[in-house]
Each structure stands twice: as C-alpha cells, then as structure tokens.
Chains A and B, each alone.
Chain A
Amino acid sequence: MADKGSVVRLPVVDGLGRTLRKDDWWVGPMVTFTVLTAFVVYTTVRMLEGTHYRWGPYLSPLASPYIETEDLGIPLLTPAILVLPFPGLFRFTCYYYRKAYYRSFGLLPPACAVGARRVGHYNGERKLLVFQNLHRYALYVALLFLVFLWHDFVASLRWDGELGMGLGSVVIFLNCAFLTLYTLSCHSFRHLVGGSVNSYSEAPFGRLRHALWAGVSRLNVNHMAFAWISLIVVALCDAYIRAVAVGAIRDVRLF
C-alpha cells in the first residue's frame, strides 16, 4: 500500500531482504534452512539405504513399524520408504514447521519487517497449499505411530526373553518421549480435544474438554522446542542404531 501512487519518498521500499533492521535477522532463517536441509538429506539417504534399521532388540524410528520389503520384489522399496511419508507429512503440515520453511525456504518473508520474495500473485495457503488443512489427518496417523514407537521401546528391553537395558533403549525412550510431547502439543490436537468448543459450561463433557484443552495449551507453548528436539533426537536415535548395527560402536549394556 505504501508505495502505490505515492509522490512521497519512503525510507524502505519493497524488495527481497530490504529492511532497516540492524540486527542479525538472517541468522535464524539460515540456521533453520541448514538444519532442516541436513535432516532431509540424512533421512533420504537412510531411506534409500534400505538396511541397518535393526540391531538386537532395537528398531530405528525411521522404519517403525517394520515391514519387510525384500520379499515383495519391488526395486528400491525399503521399509523406511513405507514409513517415512507419514511422519514426514505430519511435520510438513505442522503449524510450526510451516512458519519455519515459509521463512527460511520460501522467504515469505525471510524475517519480520524484512522484504519478502516477490511472487506473481501471493496466494498464501489458499490455492496449492490448501492441503495444509489436512494436518489433522496427519495427526491421527502420528498418534497411531506413537503406539508403534512405544511398543518398540518396550521391545528394546527384551534381550533373548530376559529383561535388560542398553544405551540404545535410553535413546529410544528419549525419542518416544520427545515425539510424544511434540505430537500432543500439536495445534490440531489442541483443537481436537477442546479448542473447537465455544461454551465449555454448556457443551457435552465441557469440563473435561476444557481441562484437556488447557493441558494441551500448556504443552503447545513449547511446540517449537519439541519440534526441534524431537527432530534431532529422531536422527540421533537412527544414527545410534545404525552405528551399532554396522559395528562402528558397541552398545553399552546397562543391565
């Protein structure tokens, strides 16, 4: 609006990166770009590698639930390829990650009060990106995946029928814990458990839904932190199991 038909000069005009900000506004988007790119590259490589997802009682989160693909005889198909699209879609449509990649990849805008990338006609999430509204369906699948992951943790404590615990179980537990916090702090989950209610005092199960909504809201404040921590822990968990599986390191048996 500011530079349309105006005869007066303006201190800052439209254009990518144009700003009067003096701080290092580009650091945030650059770190986001780097970490997300690194994660996508790592998981893609692991997805195509097609092996070293299991060692002993441990199962990598990248291939959980484990579906054997060798017998299917489909070239390039790996257990991780069958699994990763689901958590991938959950993260891609996540309200936090949308902010992160719209800023760091889309440059729409790269940072607050910094000129956005000019596009022919900006449509936001109205046209091509309207599918982001399906985030709730990705959530339903993510909730199901949590069941598989916690099952994997319990299974990791079983060594030849005996109860035991290795460092891998600790890593898997941390992965389950942070993925649970990330999933349960989701905005769509917050809406699902009670956010859609207008009058808690009048709605069926209103008090319960208000309590659930308030609980999820408290988690939701830290959704960004859970998103990043769980992302990194997933990669570390897989890297640990792979390293043990290829013999690069030895698993530490705790008991």
Chain B
Amino acid sequence: MADASASTTEPVSTGAKYTLRIWRADAKVEGSGEFRDYEVETYPGMVVLDAIHEIQAKQAPDLAVRWNCKAGRCGSCSAEIDGKPKLLCMTRMSSFRPNEPIVVTPMKTWPLVKDLVTDVSHNYRVAKKIPPFTPRPRDADGHYRMQQEDIDRIQEFRKCIECFLCQDVCHVLRDHHEEAEFVGPRYLIHLATLDMHPLDTLDRRKMMKDELGLGYCNITRCCTEVCPEHIVITDNGIIPLKERVADEFYDPLRWLARKLFPRTKKRRLPVLPGIEPAPAARSAQAQQEEVEKEPAVPPAPTVARRTPA
C-alpha cells in the first residue's frame, strides 16, 4: 500500500536528463539578464512547466514564472521555448532531444518583469478601447433569438484563452512596435466576434480601419501558427474583417449598390410557441428607447449603428 501511494505522488523518472537554459533577469536590477543552465530528470508526461517547478523547488527558488491552471486553459504560462512562442504547460519534455539544452525565454513583445514573467497589461488597456457587445432590444417576449448557424463562426473565436502568444509573435508588435496604432490579432478576433454577431448593433468598421490598425496586418499568419487553441485567426477572423472593411471603404460597386438599393430592415425570427416571457422582460419598444437614450457604452465617433445585412 505504501509503495502504491508513493508511486502516485512521486512521478517515476524516465532517467532522461535535460538541460533547461532559462533567461534570468530582473527589471529592478540594471544590466541584469543572462542564461543559466539547470538540469532536470524527466518522468513520463512531464511538461516544461513541470521542469521549471522542479527547478524552483530544488535549484532556484527565486525563479519567476507565471502560471495557474497547468492545463492549457488559463493562458498564464506563455513564454518562448527554443525561440517559439508556446504555453509552458502544453509543451512536453519528450518533444525535445535530451542532448540539446531547451532554451526558455520570456515573451519578447512585452516588458520584462522578472525571469519568465512579462507585463502584459498593455493588452487590457487595448481591450478597453473596443466598444463592447451592444445587442438589439429583446423580442416582445423578453428573449433574444438566433440560430446555431448564425453563431457557428464566432464560437471558434470564443475559445481564446488570452495567452497573448498571438500578440507576442505578431511582427507588427514584436518588431515594429506599433502597439499604439495596432490592436493585434487577439483583439481583431474579438472585433470579428462582435462584428459577426447576429444581435450586435454597432458598426465598428471605420474604427477598425482608422483607429485599431486593421491595415497594419499583412496576414503573415504567425498568430494562427502559435495559437494553442488552434483558432484560425487569420483566415476566419482577420481576413473576413478586411473584406468587411473593403465592403464599406474600398469597393465602388458596393457603394453604388448601397446608394441604389438601400437595405431593408431585418426579418425577425418568429416567436416560438410555448416560450414564456422572461421575468425581467421589458417591451421591445421600452428597450429600444432605453438604448437610444443611453447606450451601454457611448459610441466612439467612428462607431456607427449597424444596418442590417
């Protein structure tokens, strides 16, 4: 019994020894920053984050690493392994050769705080710039109606765990430092989520073009390559946004068609029988008046009410 309990708490070593070459630096210490080698013995299923925890426990208790779930769900342990942006918790040690050191460095794009920890707060400031989801008024019975086919596309984008690996690898931010002009791929798929949403009422296309820097993206697809959630950021999110912006600003035929054939109002889905009004339901008219009187977020000058597609 004792042996069995020991085997569940102490992972069995595979005997393979790996060297982790980790960048050690402290933003508070001027001129600091160097690679240090640590040797770890691996066990089956070990990931790089496990190895770093092992180093923290036995060799370098002051080694800083941000982590939380260790299951690829929280997006905290983003770093660069052998130069590639990856989650530390989703990268198995067995994917490396034991005879070469595994180089672990912090994300390049963000200011370094300590060792593998960077300051990603810029991303949260960018998020605040984007007008949030602003749905149309509820139907008369207090419900919203949409079909699965309407939201298939945006469900893919909702898988984002905000690890910011896409932001880290995007050369517009990483090499050209256009963070003041360009929101980055993570927020472009957020914008795609909003723009493709069947209930949202804001038209953010002018804002995307003029303020959020959609035109900076030259679709080199690195964001898609590094996404641990396998979101097809470029093809399913950014390119459709570019096409939507082109509809509005770069397509003379569409412009002419809009002038000649103004769009009609959306056809509302029928109220399904047997659905009781929601308890807090207000009339559509009352909600519409409320939205017009005081929108959830005052639209920025470049945000307009969206006309039905």
Contact = CB atoms under 8 A, between A and B. Distances in A.
A254 interface: no
A116 B216 contact: no
A119 B179 CA distance: 16
Residue of B112, B243, B244, B269 with most partner-chain A CB within 10 A: B243
Interface in A89-135: 95, 98-99, 102-103, 106, 108-109, 112-113, 115-116, 118-119, 122-126, 129-130, 133-134
B80 A1 contact: no
Interface in B95-125: 100, 103, 105-106, 108-112, 122
Given A125-B217, A195-B240, 8 more contacts: A1-B111, A11-B23, A12-B108, A98-B218, A99-B219, A108-B171, A125-B216, A201-B269
B180 to A, nearest CB: 10
Contacts of B171: 108-109, 116
Interface of A: 1-2, 4, 6-12, 14, 19-23, 95, 98-99, 102-103, 106, 108-109, 112-113, 115-116, 118-119, 122-126, 129-130, 133-134, 136, 187-188, 190-191, 195-204, 207, 210, 220, 223
A21 B84 contact: yes
A112 B177 CA distance: 16
Given A20-B103, A220-B235, A8 B27 contact: yes
Interface of B: 23, 25-27, 29-35, 80, 82-85, 100, 103, 105-106, 108-112, 122, 146-147, 149-150, 169, 171-179, 182, 195-198, 200, 213, 215-222, 225-226, 234-235, 239-240, 242-247, 249-251, 266-269, 306, 308-309
B172 A124 contact: yes
Main secondary structure of the interface of A (DSSP, over half): loop
A7 B42 CA distance: 35
B177 A108 contact: no
B218 A14 contact: no
A8 B239 contact: no
A196 B147 contact: no
B111 A20 contact: no
Contacts of B106: 11
**Shortest 8 CB-CB distances between A and B: which pairs?**
A9-B33, A20-B83, A21-B83, A199-B198, A126-B215, A112-B222, A124-B216, A133-B250
Contacts of B100: 22
A123 B82 CA distance: 30
A89 B80 CA distance: 38
Contacts of A133: 242, 245-246, 249-251
Contacts of A125: 215-218
Contacts of B25: 8-10
8 contacts: A8-B32, A8-B33, A113-B226, A187-B239, A187-B240, A198-B150, A198-B198, A202-B150
